[in-house]
């Protein structure tokens, strides 16, 4: 079975639109950090947020009227991906497409608001309007309704690797000849509560930038947005192999979990690795594994520029890999801490690229693309 | 997804159930579960885990913590969420039946994972309580964590897909695992579902007035809503040839799976029953059987006005007086675990040749021709069972289990 990326779309802190964001990454731009806080006098956390004017042209669908930002990001990225896919595979029959949604923290803004009211004022104040939006598959449901999908729709939950797991699930679903394609969407939204949790988890940096491969790691900056990929039977970028991944139980075991994933994926042509380095322990684990498996590869991470968007991040990485292969260009890796770290190798246009996704809560997966 | 006339007919791998495990309000383990089903026991009790004085509904199906005590014997296990304890308990039971089972992948369903740890963290933050425990709560709060904890407890490091398709999650997990083996891509997949009671979800359903202050009465004309529950269930699925080659005990087969999405509303099904109908039809077609071959339907049957009306209508249209019951009346609705637990109940019905009861039933909706297994279990010859799960977001899933026959009695997918 031959699988291809037929379309891509993303909504990021650097804007929306495949080429627009890609051009900004190529120019070495990074998103401007904004502080979020629970209120005056409360701790402030740096985040990379999606510019407010990027979603102005979303269709006026009733499902989006009360939807939280995560659903709006997902709708925008999904619609953009399908639009680009049409040029590769023609019109798309909604009865022959499956939707797979990757999510990590979900609709935290409405969840915090809903539960906050319960804690503050008691169960009688719980909002029946907010509660349904707190359910993990609410965003997928909205997108399915907008697109008219009546068949398979799955929401997967996981850490930063969940987008890669969603692609693996799509590969499994595509063994069914009744499907023409799968739309895979990863999305995330950010608020103060999520930042506070990651800070207490000792993963958050108090101020930008994200410094990839720095030892010791200083932490990451959370971001929001969505990435979407249409996986079909034809398209400009081939998906050679998806490694379904593995798990690590302790942070110091992460490198040992990554090595077999990279070893399994790498081939002689793969000279480019899109890493999930985000300024945390993940970077050092990846550095060890890269040195052991593909020491000469050119390594790039988009997270210093776009932030750590968890549920969306693996899809963003895949889009970066696809764009690199198609354009023969590679953005500069920002804020690289040391000259001998994996990101220092010079980029040469290549026909094959690896994408590695190591999450911050035990999951690892990866894939190899080619043109 | 729909079948078209030109659909390709290929030889499909048969999918065997080789081991299972369960913990639910009906009991811990298959034996206790069977005993509760045979006794038509009402296992709904007053909620004890969080305050419910301001809620309409004040009861739930709860797992007795004593049943999980053996899990919490070491320091690490004590730090884990109850959902992890339940998953470990269920997986332990399954692997004790088949110690040679080596999965290549896990596909597990949930809706809220370790949500109560998230609640603890929020309350501690909001009320400036002792925050020393927050790193533990945060690390163990993510919804996928209980599945990973259970895998770690038994040294199983495989790709783990955790599906959060609301109340259909458990059946979706089983169905996707079935598809993966049936397609020939995988030989052995661990699957199931879990969820535990938490205040956020309990209050949420209460705010929607979907949960009831009265008895849970699925398909009763005077039904007033659901009662929530918790639990976990695990299935070890394997390619039949592989299972037979290594001498595994075949408990039953999974023979069909259907999934559909109803875009009518985020929380309410289309009253026409089109979503459930499509899922059940797809399951029948994927199994290559007709509705007349189904001997029992374990319905989603939440006892909400809207669900039971839509599901009842779809069942009545597709099946001719096939016995139907919702076992949620006995144990409540365990959300992401429900589909997996109800598949266990369906398996027990096949193994022990009985129809589990739909307790608290008095009279059905007028004009809906359903054969409800009212109030008492019944002995019956059961070969094939259909189990339904439908959820928020319009997600619908149906799965078919069959008693194991050496020779197949159906040839896989057929054209519509």
Query: A4-23: per-residue pLDDT in tens?
Result: 999 999 999 999 999 999 99
Alpha helices in B221-332 (DSSP H): 240-245, 274-287, 305-318, 328-331
Q: Which residue of B has its CA nearest to A108?
A: B118
Task: Tell me what pLDDT residue B414 has.
Answer: 53
For B142-159, write each residue's pLDDT tens digit: 999 999 999 999 999 999
Q: Has residue B10 been placed in a domain? A: no
Which residue do the tokens 């923290």 mark? Answer: A105
User: Which residues in chain A have their CB less than 8 angstroms from residue B263's CB?
Assistant: 141, 144-145, 148-150
Asked if residue B9 has pLDDT above 70, the reply is no
Work out the burial of residue A331: count CB atoms within 10 Å of its CB; fewer than 13 is exposed, 13-18 middle, 19 or more buried: buried
Task: Tell me what pLDDT residue B416 has.
Answer: 37
Catalytic residues of B: 167, 300, 333
Asked if residue B8 has pLDDT above 50, the reply is no
Q: Does the beta-carbon distance from B111 to A135 stay under 8 Å?
A: yes
For A274-286, write each residue's pLDDT tens digit: 999 999 999 999 9
Which CATH number do you get for residue B29? Answer: 3.40.47.10
Cα–Cα distance for residue pair A204/A190, rounded to 1 Å: 13
The helix/strand count (H/E) of chain A reads as: 11, 14
Task: Tell me what pLDDT residue A337 has.
Answer: 75
Q: Name which of B41-50, B104-113, B260-269, B346-355 the model is least confident about.
A: B260-269
- Residues A149, A99: contact at Cβ < 8 Å? yes
- What is the H or E stretch that residue A274 is in? strand A272-274
Number of domains in chain B: 1
Mutate to test the interface with A, among B263, B265, B269, B339 (most CBs of A within 10 A): B263
Under the banding of pLDDT at 50, 70 and 90, the label for residue B407 is confident
Q: Does the beta-carbon distance from B54 to A200 stay under 8 Å?
A: no
Residues paired with residue A364 on neighbouring β-strands, in sequence order: A246, A358
Residues ≥6 apart with Cβ < 8 Å to B369: B316, B321
User: Which residues in chain B have their CB less than 8 angstroms from residue A362's CB?
Assistant: 145, 148
The helix/strand count (H/E) of chain B reads as: 13, 16
User: Which residues in chain B have their CB less than 8 angstroms from residue A145's CB?
Assistant: 263, 394
Asked if residue B3 has pLDDT above 50, the reply is no
Percentage of residues in chain B with pLDDT exceeding 90? 84
Cα–Cα distance for residue pair B2/B14, rounded to 1 Å: 21
Q: Has residue B416 been placed in a domain? A: no
Q: Has residue B409 been placed in a domain? A: no
C-alpha Rg value of chain A to the nearest Å: 19
Under the banding of pLDDT at 50, 70 and 90, the label for residue B5 is very low
Task: Tell me what pLDDT residue B133 has.
Answer: 84
Task: Tell me what pLDDT residue B153 has.
Answer: 94
**Phi, psi (5° rounding) for residue B238?**
-150, 145
Secondary structure in 3-state letters for B50-98: CCCCCCCCCEEECCCHHHHHHHHHCHHHHHCCHHHHHHHHHHHHHHHHC
CATH number, span A3-370 = 3.40.47.10
**Phi, psi (5° rounding) for residue A64?**
-90, 0
Q: Is A178 on the interface with B (CB under 8 A)?
A: yes
Q: Has residue B286 been placed in a domain? A: yes
For A194-250, write each residue's pLDDT tens digit: 999 999 999 999 999 999 999 999 999 999 999 999 999 999 999 999 999 899 999
Q: Which residue of A has its CA nearest to B124?
A: A119
The residue with greater pLDDT, A347 or B111, is: B111
- Residues A164, A364: contact at Cβ < 8 Å? no
Task: Tell me what pLDDT residue B2 has.
Answer: 37
Q: Is A137 on the interface with B (CB under 8 A)?
A: yes
Q: Is A364 on the interface with B (CB under 8 A)?
A: no
Name the residue facing B142 among A131, A246, A361 (closest C-beta): A361
Cα–Cα distance for residue pair A71/A69, rounded to 1 Å: 5
Asked if residue B411 has pLDDT above 70, the reply is no
Task: Tell me what pLDDT residue B409 has.
Answer: 63
Alpha helices in B208-304 (DSSP H): 240-245, 274-287
For A64-106, write each residue's pLDDT tens digit: 988 999 999 999 999 999 999 998 888 889 999 999 999 999 9
Asked if residue B4 has pLDDT above 60, the reply is no
Q: Is A362 on the interface with B (CB under 8 A)?
A: yes
Q: Does the beta-carbon distance from A157 to B125 stay under 8 Å?
A: no
Under the banding of pLDDT at 50, 70 and 90, the label for residue B265 is confident
For B291-313, write each residue's pLDDT tens digit: 999 999 999 999 999 999 999 99
User: Which residues in chain B have their CB less than 8 angstroms from residue A181's CB?
Assistant: none
Q: Does the beta-carbon distance from A141 to B393 stay under 8 Å?
A: yes
Q: Does the beta-carbon distance from A246 to B159 stay under 8 Å?
A: yes
Closest CA to A322 of A264, A371, A271, A267: A371
Give the residue extent of every domain in chain A: 3-370
Residues ≥6 apart with Cβ < 8 Å to B326: B218, B219, B298, B299, B300, B301, B302, B303, B308, B358
Task: Tell me what pLDDT residue B406 has.
Answer: 84
Task: Tell me what pLDDT residue B267 has.
Answer: 86
Residues 226-255 of A with CB under 8 A from B: 244-247, 249
Task: Tell me what pLDDT residue B131 has.
Answer: 84
CA angle A73, A79, A83 (to 5 degrees): 145
**Span A161-183, mean pLDDT?**
96
Instruction: Kindly state the tokens that stand for B282.
Output: 């797809």
For B115-135, write each residue's pLDDT tens digit: 999 999 999 998 887 788 888
Q: Has residue B70 been placed in a domain? A: yes
Task: Tell me what pLDDT residue A105 has.
Answer: 93
Range of the domain at B171: 16-402
Task: Tell me what pLDDT residue B77 has.
Answer: 83
**Span B1-5, mean pLDDT?**
38
**Span A142-163, mean pLDDT?**
95
Asked if residue B349 has pLDDT above 70, the reply is yes
For B229-255, write each residue's pLDDT tens digit: 999 999 999 999 999 999 999 999 999
């Amino acid at each position: 079975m031959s699988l291809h990326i037929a379309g891509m779309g993303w909504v990021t802190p650097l804007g929306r639109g495949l080429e627009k964001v890609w051009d900004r990454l190529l120019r070495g731009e990074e998103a401007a950090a904004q502080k979020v806080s629970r209120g005056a006098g409360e701790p402030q956390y740096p985040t990379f947020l999606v510019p407010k004017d990027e979603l102005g042209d979303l269709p006026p669908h009733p499902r989006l009227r009360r939807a939280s930002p995560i659903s709006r990001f997902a709708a925008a990225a999904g619609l953009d991906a399908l639009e680009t896919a049409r040029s590769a595979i023609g019109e798309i029959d909604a009865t022959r497409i499956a939707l797979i949604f990757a999510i990590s923290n979900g609709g935290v803004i409405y969840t915090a608001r809903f539960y906050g009211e319960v804690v503050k004022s008691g169960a009688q104040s719980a909002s029946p309007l907010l509660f349904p939006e707190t359910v993990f598959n609410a965003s997928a449901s909205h997108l399915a309704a907008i697109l008219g999908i009546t068949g398979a729709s799955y929401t997967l939950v996981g850490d930063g690797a969940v987008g890669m797991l969603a692609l693996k699930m799509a590969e499994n679903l595509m063994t069914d000849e009744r499907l023409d394609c799968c739309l895979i969407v990863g999305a995330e939204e950010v608020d103060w509560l999520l930042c506070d949790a990651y800070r207490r988890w000792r993963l958050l940096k108090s101020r930008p930038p994200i410094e990839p491969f720095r030892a010791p790691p200083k932490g990451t900056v959370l971001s929001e947005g969505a990435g979407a990929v249409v996986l079909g039977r034809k398209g400009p970028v081939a998906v050679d192999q998806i490694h379904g991944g593995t798990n690590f139980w302790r942070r110091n075991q992460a490198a040992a979990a990554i090595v077999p994933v990279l070893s399994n994926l790498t081939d002689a042509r793969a000279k480019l690795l899109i890493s999930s380095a985000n300024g945390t322990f993940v970077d050092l684990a990846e550095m060890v594994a890269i040195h052991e498996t593909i020491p000469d590869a050119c390594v790039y991470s988009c997270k210093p520029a776009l932030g750590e968007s968890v549920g969306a991040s693996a899809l963003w990485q895949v889009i970066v890999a696809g764009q690199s292969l198609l354009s023969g260009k590679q953005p500069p890796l920002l804020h690289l801490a040391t000259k001998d770290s994996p990101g220092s190798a010079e980029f040469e246009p290549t026909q094959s690229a690896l994408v590695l996704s190591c999450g911050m809560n035990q999951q690892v997966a990866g894939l190899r693309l080619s043109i | 997804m729909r079948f078209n006339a030109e659909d390709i007919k290929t030889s499909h791998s048969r999918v065997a159930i080789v081991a299972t495990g369960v913990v639910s309000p009906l009991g811990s383990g298959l034996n206790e579960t069977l005993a509760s089903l045979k006794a038509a026991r009402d296992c709904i009790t007053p909620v004890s885990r969080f305050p419910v004085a301001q809620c309409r509904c004040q009861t739930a199906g709860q797992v007795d913590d004593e049943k999980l005590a053996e899990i919490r014997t070491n320091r690490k296990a004590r730090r884990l969420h109850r959902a992890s304890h339940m998953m470990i308990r269920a997986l332990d039971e399954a692997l004790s039946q088949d110690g040679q089972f080596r999965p290549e992948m896990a596909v597990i369903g949930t809706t809220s994972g370790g949500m109560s740890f998230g609640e603890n963290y929020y309350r501690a933050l909001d009320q400036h309580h002792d925050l020393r425990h927050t790193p533990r709560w945060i690390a163990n709060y993510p919804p996928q964590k209980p599945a990973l904890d259970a895998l770690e407890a038994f040294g199983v490091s495989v790709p783990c897909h955790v599906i959060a398709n609301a109340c259909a999650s458990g059946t979706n997990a089983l169905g996707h695992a079935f598809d993966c083996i049936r397609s020939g891509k995988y030989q052995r997949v661990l699957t199931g579902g879990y969820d535990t009671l938490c205040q956020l979800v309990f209050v949420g359903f209460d705010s929607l007035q979907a949960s009831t202050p009265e008895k849970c009465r699925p398909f009763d004309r005077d039904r007033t809503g659901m009662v929530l529950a918790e639990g976990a269930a695990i299935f070890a699925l394997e390619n039949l040839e592989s299972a037979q080659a290594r001498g595994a005990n075949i408990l039953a087969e999974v023979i069909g799976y259907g999934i559909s999405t109803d875009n009518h509303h985020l929380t309410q099904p289309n009253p026409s029953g089109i979503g459930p109908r499509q899922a059940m039809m797809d399951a029948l077609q994927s199994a290559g059987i007709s509705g007349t071959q189904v001997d029992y339907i374990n319905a989603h049957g939440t006892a909400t006005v809207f669900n039971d009306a839509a599901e009842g209508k779809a069942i009545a249209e597709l099946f001719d007086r096939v016995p139907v019951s919702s076992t949620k009346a006995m144990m409540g609705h365990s959300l992401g675990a429900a589909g997996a637990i109800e598949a266990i109940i369906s398996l027990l019905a096949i193994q022990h040749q009985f129809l589990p009861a739909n307790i608290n039933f008095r009279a059905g909706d007028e004009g809906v021709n359903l054969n409800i297994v009212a109030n008492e279990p019944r002995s019956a010859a059961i070969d094939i069972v259909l189990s339904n799960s439908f959820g928020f977001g319009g997600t619908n899933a149906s799965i078919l289990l069959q008693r194991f026959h050496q020779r197949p009695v159906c040839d896989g997918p057929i054209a519509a």
